[in-house]
């Protein structure tokens, strides 16, 4: 499915630790580059990218400063982390050393974004049914993940096997699943 | 409802010449506690939260809370009436002080009454359910419904008993709850025409006469019972802290009314049998899970505690030693007289019990069933085999959520299948649970 690899596309730089592309809205790691492979669990990192991006949008909206082209920069003791929405399908993340000059970092990010956009433009991600996304979201955030599917089964009356293969459910059943997930997570609405 | 004639009871409790401990009896032969003749036992917040949650998942949140409030109201009214009778306090204010003190003594938190026979307000601080929900889940999820159905039912019953009103003369609504993000919990009480009479229930003595069970001997019976009695003394020596909470072994513990647990479990269960039989297996599984989560956290925490080491010396994680220790803990908590019947290490365990707090209730209230009804006990059996075979004791594990999920993410539970093969509810003379590794 992928015709390229970030490991081949990204030009190494002494201050660049990693680049990771997250597929939205499922927050699944699509591809990654690491200067030192397997140093960190980027799958795990990617699973929270959606939250950060969404929260950033809401903050900007509440400040009346929302713009689609905004990017997120987080500075920690060790790293500068930059997240940028490429389009509605992908978010790119860059992990630089904290001490790298910010001007040089921005320049490198711009350069890499061009490369990424070019290579991702023809890619058509597989459509994941919303119910699968909802249940995946539940598994990720439920307070007792080992029991979360059983709780949905009890709340909705749908057998566990059906929840594991939820294709073919009717509208009402899908709405019931979503409502039960919303209740378990204590959310008014589910923003996936 | 709150007028100038309301009695305010926010005063320091007088040191009265009553000792709650003198009202608590522990029957070594059945390993049941009674408090003023009413069955009580110790349980942890993991169990309490999971059980309440399961009832609400099954019935729907609103109906679940209604059932829980009613069960709490019934059980607390019966309990407080007996305590008031035993202690002999007469005036409403003394009775309310007694109820408030009792609530804290049992580890449920603090209740402050500003109510009379027409209703009023009751504030709750550090209520066991709300406070521990916030501690356990508050960082992960938010909640829009209150959690303290038990506190509400208790508060309504306390005011009724204080003012000599019949059961169900006051309705109760939790209007503010820490689990919903508020600073404290608050209940509004309103006078109403009683909708029902207090359902009858046998006393501990009456039910023991009605349901006669053989004495079960565990493997190493002498040692198990000796440990149980020492632990029982230890539990009874625990005192709630300034918040009115009992905290120890990494969990919050309460002395609770067995009738509350049994009413919410079985009334909820049979409602689902009638209305949504297609989810009964799932409900049963989650009722068991509440026992499993308790067995793991509380029993594991006790077995690894310095208190355990102080009482019995350190253990080395020997599977049978863990099992026997777990059974002693169950006896000391007031679950019932249970014992290890057979143990084929890592392959099969059989536990028997003269009766559990669940089956004794079920057998006197409900018709005979086709299978075992000790849901907590089944979950506990599963937890005990895992504690004995899956937990890395030599690494001094921390009994936290992380370890729990790492062990039990697999729904097949490492191949252990637990089944209640005999039960008082089924008409058997005793209860028996087998755990087999397939």
Q: Per the domain annotation, does B422 fall within a domain?
A: yes
Cβ separation of A146 and B144 shorter than 8 Å?
Answer: no
B181 and B211 part of one domain: no
B75 and B50 part of one domain: yes
B255 and B157 part of one domain: no
Distance (Å, whole) CA B52 – CA B150:
10
In chain A, which residues have their Cβ closer than 8 Å to the Cβ of B276?
157
Chain A nearest-CA distance from B412, in A, is 11
Cβ separation of A150 and B282 shorter than 8 Å?
Answer: yes
Whether B405 contacts chain A with CB within 8 A: yes
Distance (Å, whole) CA A100 – CA A15:
6
B173 and B109 part of one domain: yes
Write down the pLDDT at residue B46: 94
B175 and B286 part of one domain: no
Task: Kindly indicate the confidence band of residue B5, based on its pLDDT and cuts at 50, 70 and 90.
Answer: very low
Chain A nearest-CA distance from B322, in A, is 24
Q: Out of A143, A150, A183, name the one closest to residue B140 (CB).
A: A143
Q: Out of B58, B141, B144, name the one closest to residue A154 (CB).
A: B58
Q: What is the pLDDT of residues B141-188, one digit of tens each?
A: 999 999 999 999 999 999 999 999 999 999 999 999 999 999 999 999
Chain A nearest-CA distance from B387, in A, is 18
Distance (Å, whole) CA B381 – CA A163:
28
Write down the pLDDT at residue B398: 86
Q: Is the pLDDT of residue B341 over 50?
A: yes
Whether B404 contacts chain A with CB within 8 A: yes
Whether B407 contacts chain A with CB within 8 A: no
Q: Per the domain annotation, does B82 fall within a domain?
A: yes
Mean pLDDT for the stretch of residues B393-401: 84
CA distances from B386 to B274, B341, B389 (A): 34, 17, 5
B351 and B409 part of one domain: yes
B323 and B359 part of one domain: yes
Cβ separation of B405 and A145 shorter than 8 Å?
Answer: yes
Looking at B148, B166, B191, which one is the last position of a domain? B191
Whether B429 contacts chain A with CB within 8 A: no
B127 and B249 part of one domain: no
B210 and B150 part of one domain: no
Residue with tokens 């100038």: B4
B53 and B147 part of one domain: yes
Distance (Å, whole) CA B154 – CA B175:
15
Mean pLDDT for the stretch of residues B402-425: 83
In chain A, which residues have their Cβ closer than 8 Å to the Cβ of B285?
150
Chain B nearest-CA distance from A70, in A, is 28
Q: Per the domain annotation, does B122 fall within a domain?
A: yes
Q: What is the pLDDT of residues A23-81, one digit of tens each?
A: 887 788 888 899 888 778 888 888 888 888 888 888 888 888 888 778 899 999 999 99
Q: Is the pLDDT of residue A172 over 90?
A: yes
| Nearest by Cα to A120 from A23, A49, A55 | A23
Q: What domain range is B78 assigned to?
A: 4-191
Residue count of chain A: 192
Task: Kindly indicate the confidence band of residue B410, based on its pLDDT and cuts at 50, 70 and 90.
Answer: low
Write down the pLDDT at residue B54: 98
Distance (Å, whole) CA B156 – CA B124:
13
Task: Kindly indicate the confidence band of residue B16, based on its pLDDT and cuts at 50, 70 and 90.
Answer: very low
Tokens coding B304: 């690894």
User: Model-level pTM?
Assistant: 0.83
Q: What is the pLDDT of residues A114-166, one digit of tens each?
A: 888 888 887 776 778 889 989 988 988 898 888 999 999 999 999 999 998 88
Chain B nearest-CA residue for A184: B141
Q: What is the ipTM of this complex?
A: 0.89
The total of structural domains in chain B comes to 2
B336 and B422 part of one domain: yes
Chain A nearest-CA residue for B288: A147
Looking at B191, B218, B235, which one is the last position of a domain? B191
CA dihedral of A65, A66, A71, A77, whole degrees rounded to 10 = 50
| A120 vs B26, residue with greater confidence | B26
Q: Per the domain annotation, does B300 fall within a domain?
A: yes
Q: Out of A151, A154, A185, name the one closest to residue B141 (CB).
A: A185
Cβ separation of B282 and A184 shorter than 8 Å?
Answer: no
Q: Per the domain annotation, does B198 fall within a domain?
A: no
B263 and B392 part of one domain: yes
Q: Per the domain annotation, does B197 fall within a domain?
A: no
Q: What is the pLDDT of residues B40-83, one digit of tens each?
A: 999 999 999 999 999 999 999 999 999 999 999 999 999 999 99
Q: Is the pLDDT of residue B27 over 90?
A: yes
Q: Which residues in B194-295 belong to E strands, given as ranges?
A: 246-248, 251-257
In chain A, which residues have their Cβ closer than 8 Å to the Cβ of B279?
153-154, 157
User: In CATH, what number is assigned to the domain containing residue B324?
Assistant: 3.30.1380.20
Q: Per the domain annotation, does B199 fall within a domain?
A: no
Chain A nearest-CA distance from B430, in A, is 30
Q: What is the pLDDT of residues B88-123, one digit of tens each?
A: 998 999 999 999 999 999 999 999 999 999 999 999
Task: Kindly indicate the confidence band of residue B13, based on its pLDDT and cuts at 50, 70 and 90.
Answer: very low
Looking at B123, B157, B191, which one is the last position of a domain? B191
Cβ separation of B285 and A150 shorter than 8 Å?
Answer: yes
Residue with tokens 């309310």: B96
User: Cβ contacts of residue B375 below 8 Å, gap of 6+?
Assistant: B265, B284, B287, B288, B290, B291, B358
Q: Per the domain annotation, does B379 fall within a domain?
A: yes
Tokens coding B253: 């513990």
Query: How many interchain CB pairs under 8 A, A with B?
Result: 49
In chain A, which residues have their Cβ closer than 8 Å to the Cβ of B404?
146
């Amino acid at each position: 499915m992928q015709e390229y690899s970030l490991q081949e596309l990204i030009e190494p730089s002494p201050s660049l630790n990693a680049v990771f592309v997250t597929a939205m809205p499922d927050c699944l790691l699509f591809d990654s580059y690491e200067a030192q492979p397997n140093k960190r669990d980027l799958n795990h990192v990617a699973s929270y990218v959606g939250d950060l991006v969404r929260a950033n949008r809401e903050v900007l909206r509440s400040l009346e400063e929302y713009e689609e082209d905004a990017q997120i920069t987080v500075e920690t003791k060790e790293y500068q982390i930059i997240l940028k929405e490429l389009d509605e399908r992908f978010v790119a993340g860059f992990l630089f050393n904290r001490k790298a000059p910010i001007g040089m970092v921005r320049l490198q990010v711009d350069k890499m974004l061009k490369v990424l956009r070019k290579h991702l433009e023809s890619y058509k991600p597989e459509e994941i049914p919303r119910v699968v996304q909802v249940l995946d979201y539940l598994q990720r955030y439920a307070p007792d993940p080992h029991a979360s599917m059983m709780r949905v089964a009890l709340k909705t009356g749908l057998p566990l096997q059906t929840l594991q293969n939820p294709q073919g459910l009717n509208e009402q059943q899908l709405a019931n699943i979503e409502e039960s997930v919303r209740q378990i997570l204590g959310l008014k609405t589910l923003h996936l | 409802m709150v007028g100038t004639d309301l009695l305010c009871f926010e005063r320091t409790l007088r040191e009265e010449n009553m000792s709650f401990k003198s009202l608590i009896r522990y029957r070594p032969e059945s390993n049941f506690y009674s408090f003023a003749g009413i069955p009580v036992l110790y349980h942890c917040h993991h169990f309490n939260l999971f059980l309440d949650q399961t009832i609400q998942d099954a019935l729907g949140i609103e109906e679940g809370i209604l059932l829980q409030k009613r069960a709490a109201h019934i059980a607390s009214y019966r309990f407080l009436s007996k305590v008031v009778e035993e202690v002999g306090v007469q005036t409403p204010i003394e009775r309310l002080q007694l109820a408030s003190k009792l609530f804290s003594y049992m580890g449920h938190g603090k209740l402050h009454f500003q109510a009379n026979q027409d209703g009023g307000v009751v504030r709750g601080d550090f209520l066991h359910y709300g406070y521990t929900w916030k501690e356990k889940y508050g960082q992960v999820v938010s909640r829009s419904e209150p959690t303290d159905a038990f506190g509400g039912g208790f508060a309504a019953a306390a005011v009724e008993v204080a003012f000599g009103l019949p059961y169900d003369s006051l309705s109760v609504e939790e209007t503010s709850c820490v689990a919903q993000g508020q600073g404290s919990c608050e209940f509004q009480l309103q006078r109403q025409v009683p909708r029902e009479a207090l359902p009858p229930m046998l006393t501990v003595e009456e039910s023991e006469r009605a349901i006669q069970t053989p004495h079960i001997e565990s493997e190493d019976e002498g040692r198990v019972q000796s440990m149980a009695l020492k632990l029982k003394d230890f539990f009874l020596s625990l005192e709630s802290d300034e918040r009115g909470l009992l905290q120890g072994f990494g969990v919050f513990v309460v002395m609770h009314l067995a009738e509350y647990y049994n009413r919410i479990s079985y009334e909820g269960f049979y409602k689902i049998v009638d209305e949504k039989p297609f989810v009964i297996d799932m409900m049963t599984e989650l009722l068991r899970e509440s026992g499993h989560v308790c067995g793991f956290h509380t029993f594991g925490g006790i077995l690894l505690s310095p208190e355990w080491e102080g009482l019995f010396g350190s253990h080395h994680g020997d599977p049978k030693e863990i099992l026997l220790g777990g059974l002693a803990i169950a006896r000391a908590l007031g679950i019932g007289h249970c014992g290890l019947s057979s143990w084929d290490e890592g392959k099969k365990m059989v536990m028997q019990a003269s009766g559990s707090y669940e089956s004794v209730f079920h057998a006197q209230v409900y018709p005979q069933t086709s299978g075992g009804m000790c849901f907590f006990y089944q979950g506990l059996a599963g937890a005990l085999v895992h504690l004995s075979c899956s937990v890395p004791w030599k690494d001094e594990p921390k009994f936290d959520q992380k370890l729990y999920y790492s062990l039990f993410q697999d729904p097949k539970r490492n191949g252990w299948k637990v089944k209640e093969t005999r039960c008082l509810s089924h008409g058997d003379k005793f209860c028996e649970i087998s755990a087999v590794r397939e």
